[in-house]
Amino acid sequence: MSSPALGCLPASFLAAEADAAKPRPATQPPPGFGGTATAAFGAAGLLATAAWGALGLLTLYWPNRVVGFSDWAYTDEAGWMALAAGVLLLGLTVAGRHAGRVGRWLRPAARWLVAAPLLLAFWEIATAKLAWLPAPFFAPPQALIEVVLEDYGRLGLSTLHSARLLASGFVLGGLVGFVTGVWIGWSRAAGYWVHPLLRFLGPVPASALLPLAFFFAPSSHSAAVFLIALATFFPVAVLSWSGVAAVNKAYYDVARTMGASEWFLVWRVAVPAALPQVFVGLFMGLGASFSTLVTAEMMGVKAGLGWYLQWAQGWAAYANMYGALLVMAALCSGLITLLFLLRDRALSWQKGTVKW
């Protein structure tokens, strides 16, 4: 299986997120710059304050270099926003333990609070200040503010369309894949007849079937839902089958001695034991469905982030294109976070037996 687009679900990211979900001992300080939790945030807060302040001053007082292109709008607004972020971080640093929930929430991200303004400063210098990256193909950070303020309607509507389309295809593909995987893992007949077809047809990329889907489907929306569901189906089915097949046979023997029926063995023994692998399949299916979503929207859907990307490229509105890419990244990251929360809630009773 190929790695999902936009860096949505690499294996290292999945392992890092799983490790981050582990509860830390009360005596272990959270990630920071050393020392106690409060001291760590204090040192990081001072560095972050200086970094954001420097970014704001750089944006405000270093003139933009205009090379055959109109000056970038909202430069002053971007500078004042950076200064405001620095002032806010300074207030949280001075507050220390009294910063409350906001301080506790920001403390693990202490290093990113310093790295983010440095990366933004390099981006600003390379585009607006020195024009190392030529306009309009490369836009500075303040151009994204313009996109949000002046094209929020079209961008927001495209995001809603994409979220609805992704939810329809992902839920459908996940349900069908889960049922198919459990069926193959439990039934020998299904394993004999369905498993070879799954291994033969499953690895075919869903985007390769794009022309056939749009030809046979009654509408472009239904074709896109089918392709997203197909992209989700394969990893969920394979890992659900693997999870059911790997259940310890002793569990079934114990349940049978208690008079358990066949239905009970499947849904109360096999499926709960296989849930960790089912969720891995859902994570992989989410990445595959997201890449298929963008491809499908570029081909035939009349709204969505993929359509917005194609529209921005057609009008050479590269700042809008970068804005759409950032929205895609935020949407994918948010969905991954929600799926992790769902996994933690569904598998909370297995924390003593499953490696987290």
Span 101-125, pLDDT tens digits? 887 888 888 889 999 999 999 999 9
16: number of Cβ within 10 Å: 11
Span 133-176, pLDDT tens digits? 888 789 899 999 999 998 999 999 999 999 999 999 999 999 99
Confidence class of residue 9 from pLDDT cuts 50, 70 and 90?
very low
Span 197-207, pLDDT tens digits? 888 877 788 87
Is 84 inside any structural domain?
Answer: yes
pLDDT at 291: 85
* Domain match, 128 and 195 both: no
Span 36-71, pLDDT tens digits? 444 446 678 899 999 999 999 999 999 998 766 567
* Domain match, 51 and 111 both: yes
Span 246-282, pLDDT tens digits? 888 888 888 888 888 888 888 888 898 889 999 999 9
Q: Which of 350, 196, 219 is nearest to 273 (CA)?
A: 350
pLDDT at 322: 92
Q: What is the tally of structural domains in the chain?
A: 2
123, 125, 145, 321 from 69: Cα distances, Å: 18, 16, 18, 18
Report the pLDDT averaged over residues 218-239: 89
pLDDT at 13: 43
* Confidence (pTM): 0.78
Q: Which of 5-19, 236-250, 254-268, 277-291 has the lowest mean pLDDT?
A: 5-19
* Domain match, 236 and 294 both: yes
Domain that holds residue 228: 152-350
124, 280, 290, 347 from 340: Cα distances, Å: 34, 10, 17, 10
Residue 12 has pLDDT above 60, yes or no: no
Amino acid at 256: R
pLDDT at 106: 82
Is 293 inside any structural domain?
Answer: yes
Token pair of 237, please?
A: 């089915």
Confidence class of residue 86 from pLDDT cuts 50, 70 and 90?
very high
Report the pLDDT averaged over residues 94-101: 80
Span 288-320, pLDDT tens digits? 898 888 888 877 677 889 889 988 888 888 899
* Domain match, 172 and 290 both: yes
Is 50 inside any structural domain?
Answer: yes
Preceding amide of 136 cis, omega within 30: yes
Residue 33 has pLDDT above 60, yes or no: no
Where residue 309 sits, what CATH number does that domain have?
A: 1.10.3720.10
Is 74 inside any structural domain?
Answer: yes
d(CA 351, CA 152): 43
pLDDT at 41: 62
Residue 273 main-chain phi, psi, to 5 deg: -70, -25
Is 140 inside any structural domain?
Answer: no
Is 1 inside any structural domain?
Answer: no
